[in-house]
Chain A
């Protein structure tokens, strides 16, 4: 099991994102020898995937299609050597096209969409690939600082094959003018921020239907190759 690459992840406390100050350990994390890190994750498979789980434009229809710009996201989940990781459970959640979450505590004064919950999941295939259809989420205001707005983003949660190979991250959209003002995005070291931004791909764009984006994700994986 490879270690967390602390040069690529955000620091625990990033004062511009105010709640990090009181919501993170102040004492050092306890180092764990590599041989004590290995513990397999629970196995997820077809039992948690219904046929519309990967399609957020259809999985919560009540009386019509959700409003907004349809997008398709293709991606490959790989380890640090670039090997595709099969059977990774990928869960996503997001706000709707107006920037409003269905969550009961979201107070943003923008309309809910009766046909959009904003949650989905998929398993990666034998080569590590996944695919989602959804609606491009809107930007929304939050209370971190005056006139604070989150850039449009989709939350991603992934289970690697080891318990410690767990990742929750956010996918952003290229060229968002809000990047410069967002402390959550900027908490990531500058050299690694691009890894959170999907690429627009005309080749993945479905004619007459949905704009195509690519978002590849790198998990920790293990140093050994499985065939050595």
Chain B
């Protein structure tokens, strides 16, 4: 290759006024939000929530997640993203710094199965102390048959696959999937060399 890739650097602790300004209530606009699909979007409305834990078991309150998914008919959006409009965006961004627990919450619809893969949400994780972002995926606990045949999950050693599967809960009438990310340790989440 003629040119070498520009090296990655950490997002640092103070990204919110730039990348998640509206969520953190800074005086700047945002290109993406924790709402990936609003109530007008056809499909099963879900909330994905969880926390990010470091290797010492501490909840990280300065992480940022980006998520990218298809809609309930298996389409990735190819329209220009307009953060001021409603409807299906497919792409979202959320920081974990808005509560002491470090909990994030994404409002979306459950994606369809596409290309023979189980329904999933693609996730990129950034935080202080990470010089390189990490890629992971969220799968769904009520899709056992499709999960068992999914080609990405099948790249993962069997005893680690459950780290990618969000647990379905019903909370106050809402469908919630809980997905914690353990960046290190016994329950370490699987990350892909994408």
Do B3 and A82 have beta carbons less than 8 Å apart? yes
Q: Is the CB of B81 within 8 A of A10?
A: no
Beyond A9-B131, A32-B152, A101-B17, is A44–B80 a contact (Cβ under 8 Å)?
yes
Inter-subunit contact A168/B128 (CB<8 Å): no
Known contacts A23-B55, A32-B194, A119-B28: does B6 contact A219 (CB below 8 Å)?
yes
Closest-by-CB residue of B relative to A93 is B18
Segment at the interface with B among A14-22, A65-73, A173-181, A203-211: A14-22
Task: Please report which residues of chain B, range 4-57, place their CB below 8 angstroms from some CB of chain A when the two chains form the complex.
Answer: 4-19, 21, 26-29, 31-32, 54-56
| Contact A81–B3 (Cβ < 8 Å) | yes
Which chain A positions have C-beta within 8 A of B10? Answer: 17, 168, 170, 184
Q: Does A41 contact B (CB under 8 A)?
A: yes
Interface residues of A in 51-88 (CB under 8 A from B): 59-60, 78-82
- Residues of B near A193 (CB, < 8 A) are 7
Q: Which residues, 115 to 161 on A, are CB-close (under 8 Å) to B?
A: 117-121, 155, 157
Q: Are A106 and B14 in contact (CB under 8 A)?
A: yes
Q: Is the contact region of chain B dominated by helix, strand, or loop, or is it mixed?
A: loop
Check if A11 is an interface residue, CB within 8 A of chain B: yes
Is B177 among interface residues, defined by CB-CB distance under 8 A? no
| 1/0 contact string of A1-12 vs chain B (CB within 8 Å) | 011110011111
A2 to B2, CA, bound (A): 13
Which residues of chain A come closer than 8 Å to B194, judged between CB atoms? 4, 32, 37, 163-164
Q: Total interface residues on A, using CB and 8 Å?
A: 81
Contact bitstring B113-150, A, C-beta under 8 A = 1, else 0: 00000000010101111111111000000000000000
Q: Which residue from B15, B21, B26, B31 sits with its C-beta under 8 Å from A48?
A: B31
Contacts of B156 in A (CB 8 A): 30
CB distance from B138 to the nearest CB of A (A): 14
**Residue with the highest number of chain A CB atoms closer than 10 Å, among B60, B130, B194:** B194
Instruction: Pick from B5, B29, B122, B183: contact of A23, CB below 8 A.
Output: B183
What residues on A are CB-neighbors of B82 within 8 Å? 47-48
A47 & B80 in contact (Cβ 8 Å cutoff): yes
B190 surroundings in chain A (CB, below 8 A): 27, 30
Interchain CB contact (< 8 A) of B6 among A24, A48, A195: A195
Q: Which residues of B contact A60 (CB under 8 A)?
A: 27-28
The answer to whether B17 and A119 have CB atoms under 8 Å apart is yes
8 A-B pairs with the lowest CB-CB distances in the bound complex, closest first: A93-B18, A19-B129, A23-B129, A22-B55, A103-B14, A29-B193, A80-B1, A10-B131
| A→B interface (CB under 8 Å) | 2-5, 8-12, 14, 17, 19-27, 29-32, 36-37, 39-48, 50, 59-60, 78-82, 89, 91-95, 101-103, 105-106, 117-121, 155, 157, 163-164, 166-170, 184, 187-189, 192-193, 195-196, 217-220
10 A-B contacts, Cβ less than 8 Å apart? A3-B193, A25-B188, A30-B191, A47-B80, A47-B83, A48-B29, A50-B29, A118-B17, A189-B7, A220-B5
